[in-house]
Amino acid sequence: MLAIIGGSGLTTLSNLQITSRKVVRTPYGEPSCPLTFGTIRGRPVVFLARHGYGHTIPPHAVNYRANLWALHSEKVQTVVSVASVGGIRRDLTPGMIAIPDQIIDYTYGRAFTFFDSDATPVTHIDFTHPYCERTRELCITAAQKAGEPVIVGGVYAATQGPRLETAAEINRLERDGADMVGMTGMPEAALARELGLSYAAIAVVANYAAGRAGSAAGIRMEDVAKVLKGAMARVRNILEHVVEAYGG
């Protein structure tokens, strides 16, 4: 089964025909919200709002372990994550959509693994390629079929939040090789890998990163909201084709 995790700007899927909702209990506490089951174009899908349906959970407080465990317990095999980012690279302008292929993790203090108990053996996962290439190709092909332009590839820098970054911090991320910056990419991707889930991300550029062209005077949240509103309509179009191709 395919699951979609929605981030800022995508707390609901308007094109999802809802059949049921389910509260899932996990060994790691409560997920962000009940899982929503339904269909898109007649194909089954599970939706989870990362920040809760009221968008009340900040990035650093999301229970990523419970979210991924809940999806895994419901026999989900593939996860497509939707997240908003700030554009660092010059061509990642507000409203653009990217399918990243790498991650740099700058988060701290988050519960980042399922293998931290004395009752479990030391376990290492290969994270050379943090996103599932098959699921990335599914998203890229879906965007092409939907007629929606996307930028293929890019390095996602995962920062702690909830504050946005300083211009100096963005300069550092750029020197490190980051192309875009967000707050929810980790540990979500690593936890998915630990559970054997095929995971890829659709990154929506909500704003220029701090200090970049167009943000010299600062980043206004009302501008971000306007960009996300328009871009998420395109994301929903892509997701329709993702679900159709996955179900086919």
The SS3 assignment for 198 reads: strand
Amino acid (1-letter code) at residue 147: G
14 is in an annotated binding site: no
209 is in an annotated binding site: yes
168 is in an annotated binding site: no
Two structure tokens written together for 231: 């871009």
Query: Is 212 exposed, middle or buried (CB count within 10 Å of its CB: 0-12, 13-18, 19+)?
Result: buried
8 is in an annotated binding site: yes
- CB neighbours of residue 187 within 10 Å: 22
186 is in an annotated binding site: no
171 is in an annotated binding site: no
Euclidean distance between CA atoms 94 and 214, whole angstroms: 10
- CB neighbours of residue 120 within 10 Å: 10
| Binding site listing for substrate | 183, 207-209
| Binding site listing for phosphate | 8, 50-51, 184
| Binding site listing | 8, 50-51, 183-184, 207-209
